Amino acid sequence: MLVGKQSFCDYHSVQAAVDALERSGSAKPETLFILAGRYEEAVTIYRSDLRIVGIGNVEITMNRYAKERDEHGEEIGTFATPTLFLGGSRLVLDNLVIVNTAGQGPDIGQAVAVYAHCDQTVFRNCSFKGHQDTLFTGPLPPAPRERQSFGGIPLREHHAHYRQYYMNCYIEGTVDFIFGGATAYFEGCQIHSLNHAGEGGGYITAASTPKGQEHGYVFDACYLTAEPGVSGVYLGRPWREFAKTAFLHCRMGGHIHPLGWDNWNDPANEATVSYKEYVRKDAAIVRQERVPWAECSETGHEEERFRKEIVFAGTDFWKLINCVTDS
């Protein structure tokens, strides 16, 4: 199936193509090709066994934001804002740029580019652009802290696991711009911090790893960069108390705050989180700067438990790049 602006394309919007696939009721794997162009639309995908391939520069963009008001005058909240929502399993997204252009500030709040409520999903050569809360990796925590419900896009399916693999992707933002409860593996990705207007440094991750889950976020050989002038950026803070995040031999710019990690104004989190760094050299120097309740070690045998094969034990979905049937 082909999406594009040209007359010979099957559909001229991504959502129209997705709707057609979901109406068909077919469970066989499908591939959706998207020709180069800018598609101004919010896309909601519930189906599984789908590969989406961007040909050339494919950008899907929308501008919804948490402080936006609905027809009743109520704020729509974070989880009603995504440019792209994914709710299924065994998905592959290749060469897509997903953007939330709402911007930032007190009148904007959170603005999600990708809401990945999905399992066994591969993102390769994709870019996720936004400011606060750019990429949400489901599942949601059991309950919100500031609202009666999380609201947002209705969830039709809840998965036993939420396992996601991000390969050679670009992710940008300001505050908590990679957040959620998934077991998510980021390999060779560029993690780019933008200027947090008027607020100083930001936070890269805000994991909400469920209690008892073996792994949360793993960043392997990633590159942490920033806009000129950005400083004081923390590697992470816990959205929930059992947050797990590990950085393995990543290259980090000078914008990273020497303390590395923040407890989100709750010292009790320091006893329950699992924050780890494995560095190739000068671990002792880095360790002296970091908060004492996070681990920092030289590259060694302990990091073996963070290999993809271990993190995703019991499934080889991360090889889906070469397995989903084209059609």
Point out the residues that are catalytic. Answer: 176
- 31: three-class secondary structure by DSSP: strand
C-alpha distance from residue 131 to each of 60, 63, 216, 241, 264 (Å): 16, 11, 22, 24, 19
Pairing of strands 170-173, 30-40: unpaired
Structure token digits, residue 279: 């560095």
Counting DSSP H helices and E strands in the chain, the numbers are 3, 24
Mapping DSSP onto H, E and C, the string for 259-287 reads CCECCCCCHHHHHCCEEEEEECCCHHHHH
CA angle 185, 116, 2 (to 5 degrees): 105
Distance of CA 149 to the CA centre of its chain: 21
Are 178 and 134 spatial neighbours (Cβ–Cβ below 8 Å)? yes
